[in-house]
Amino acid sequence: MLVVQKFGGTSVGDLQRIQNVANRVSATKKDGHDVVVVVSAMSGETNKLVAYAEHFSVNPAKAEMDMLLSAGERVTASLLAIALSEMGFDSVAMTGRKAGIVTDSDHTKARIENINPQNMQDAIKMGKIVVVAGFQGVNDNGDVTTLGRGGSDLSAVAIAGALKADLCEIYTDVSGIYTTDPRIEPKAKKLDRISYDEMLELASLGAKVLQNRSVEMAKKLNVNLVTRSSFSNEEGTLITKEENIMEAPLVSGIALDKNQARISLMGVKDRPGIASDIFNKLADAGVNVDMIIQNKAHDETTNIDFTVPVSDLHDAKAVVDGFVTRGEVKADSYNKDICKVSVVGVGMKSHVGVAAKAFSAMAQKNININMISTSEIKISMVIDEEYAELAVRSLHAIYELDK
């Protein structure tokens, strides 16, 4: 079996932890598997370098930032290869360039364009453990680039895809994906398996573990992803394609997003294309609109409600103000004290009454639902923020996720 193992900053946070990683990697190798390891910078290192740069400039040149920040992962990769060699395991450290990771030129948040895995394949064929510096690649011009937040995960998934690895293990300080946030519902259970699409919808549950970018790439490249803890031997959660999940449960998990604000537009002028106008302008302003609900009012005007991340609220207001000024929207109101709870599960595709159950859970607790949006595998509800935890626990219970 060919396994790609990725270790994040906390997992390689000091020399002892790097040694622990070496022990874990070598155990996999001893079990007869081929291993490619992808590492982040030692925790704190990237922040230190960013602070150095910000000492000189509030807006440092991005190409220079990439040359600066890529140093951290190179250090970890070299050290881990040295540790593995010392333990008697033939190993080789590779930079992103050496590993064949080619990106576009969008410095500090480059996208992987392709991977030429020849060097890695040659090394694997020679029986070597390959240790790759994550988070980095090179553009067509030969300049170092970095992949932005969660970049090392992306490196690992892309490498696993290019090498057609059997498994891509993402090691962090969290043991896997839970049915909901255990800080809200202590009865939350760790999931054994979950589909890519569910994982994407449960983003808030995996926020500390995996970014959607990585899950999307894993889905595209058909990479079996496992998130697990580097501090225990506990099995993690496998994120895979739906077909690999036998007997999918009706509901896999309950996600909560408190970082949403609701914008209500009342008396929107009833002319063709008005909604398109509004949302195009919001998109131009970089506002990330999530849920949208439109109701025709009695007076032939329309009400439009939508949610945006709290951080985009300021920009959204500016756009809406324009329509109010031009008289195309009568009134607008804003509410930051809301949250979104989502029930996610591929099982609900083939079942009826899943949504009804959610609504009755809310009703039992006298929680008012402001907005509803559904997809094939998700029911999202916007409710007042003060009911957030109560709602999560009620939904967790009604779908028997603690069983």
Q: Which residues bind a second copy (CB under 8 A)?
A: 15, 18-19, 22, 49, 52-53, 55-57, 60-61, 63-65, 67-68, 70-72, 74-75, 77-79, 81-83, 85-86, 92-93, 95, 97-98, 142-144
The minimum distance between CB 81 and a second copy, in angstroms, equals: 5
State which residue, 77 or 248, has the beta carbon closest to a second copy. 77
The minimum distance between CB 37 and a second copy, in angstroms, equals: 13
The minimum distance between CB 157 and a second copy, in angstroms, equals: 23
The minimum distance between CB 211 and a second copy, in angstroms, equals: 25
CB 100 within 8 A of CB 161: no
The minimum distance between CB 87 and a second copy, in angstroms, equals: 9
State which residue, 57 or 244, has the beta carbon closest to a second copy. 57
The minimum distance between CB 96 and a second copy, in angstroms, equals: 12
State which residue, 49 or 369, has the beta carbon closest to a second copy. 49
State which residue, 7 or 196, has the beta carbon closest to a second copy. 7
State which residue, 15 or 27, has the beta carbon closest to a second copy. 15
Starting at the edge strand found earlier in the chain, the sheet holding 34-39 runs: 91-94, 129-133, 34-39, 2-7, 167-172, 225-229, 237-240, 193-195
Q: Is 62 exposed, middle or buried (0-12, 13-18, 19+ CB in 10 A)?
A: middle
The minimum distance between CB 124 and a second copy, in angstroms, equals: 17
State which residue, 66 or 305, has the beta carbon closest to a second copy. 66
Whole-angstrom Cα distance, residue 181 to residue 45?
Answer: 29
CB 258 within 8 A of CB 338: no
State which residue, 56 or 376, has the beta carbon closest to a second copy. 56
CB 227 within 8 A of CB 176: yes
The minimum distance between CB 145 and a second copy, in angstroms, equals: 13
State which residue, 85 or 121, has the beta carbon closest to a second copy. 85
